[in-house]
Amino acid sequence: MIFGIVVEGPTDAAAYSALIPRIRPAVKRVLSRPCGGKSPLLQGFVGLLMEFQDWSIDKALVIRDSDCRDPKAVEEKLEQRLRESGFQPPFPLHFYATSCMLDTWLLADEGAVNRVARQRGRTLSAHPVDDPLEGKRNAKALFRRMLGQARLPADAAVYAEVAAAVDIEQVKRRCPYFQQFIDRVHGC
């Protein structure tokens, strides 16, 4: 199965590309298209979905952070933009807005950050962030601080490695809205 995703940026692309096959093992390839932010995503996702037609995509997701606003409203805005465009994708398509941001999920398992640090030869370790995680408007800053504690760069490669190492069950426990993402990945 080939899964197409349209996301805000390169760290999102890397992390989601690592998470999706873990959630749905039938996914053999994730084709990601980072847009360069929320506004460019809103303006350009339809064109990127059109490109997916040439790649025999089996399913697509348009994913955006809600920044702790109502995720349903964000999804509805994306759906409206698609309707207004008149484009009807020939593959199943879902929209997903995080409860706050992707970084929230990666904060849920400091052990994953520490495993990545050890694999990279680092000896310092990251400290846990207190619950509740969902609703923390500064999740990106907190995650970058966690990476800094382990002396890891906040780049796409590290985001992918941490996403590949996180304990999915722990993320589900600490970030209940993550289940909505799992449901969208399995939908269709």
Rounded to the nearest angstrom, the gap between the alpha carbon of residue 116 and the centroid of all alpha carbons in its chain is: 18
Check whether 53 has a pLDDT greater than 80.
yes
* Region 69-91 average pLDDT: 96
| Confidence grade of residue 24 (pLDDT, cut at 50, 70, 90) | very high
Predicted pLDDT at 123? 86
85-94 burial, b if ≥16 CB within 10 A, otherwise e?
Answer: eeeebebebb
| 107-118 tens-digit pLDDT | 999 999 999 999
Check whether 188 has a pLDDT greater than 80.
no
Domain range list for the chain: 2-100+175-186, 103-174
Check whether 170 has a pLDDT greater than 80.
yes
Q: Which two tokens stand for residue 40?
A: 């460019």
Backbone angles phi and psi of 92, in degrees to 5:
-60, 135
Distance CA 159, CA 103 (A): 9
| 136-166 tens-digit pLDDT | 889 999 999 999 999 999 999 999 999 999 9
* Region 80-90 average pLDDT: 96
Predicted pLDDT at 132? 87
User: Taking Cα atoms as reference points, which of 13, 19, 60 lies closest to residue 36?
Assistant: 13
Distance CA 61, CA 3 (A): 8
Distance CA 115, CA 119 (A): 6
SS3 150: coil
Distance CA 97, CA 181 (A): 8
* Region 20-24 average pLDDT: 97
Q: Which two tokens stand for residue 55?
A: 């790649």
* Region 174-184 average pLDDT: 96
| 90-103 tens-digit pLDDT | 999 999 999 999 99
Predicted pLDDT at 124? 86
* Region 45-55 average pLDDT: 94
Alpha helices in the chain (DSSP H): 10-23, 38-52, 71-85, 102-107, 110-119, 139-149, 156-165, 168-174, 178-186
pTM of full prediction above 0.75: yes
Predicted pLDDT at 131? 84
The helix (H) or strand (E) run that includes residue 3 is strand 2-7
Q: Topology of domain 2-100+175-186, per CATH?
A: Rossmann fold (3.40.50)
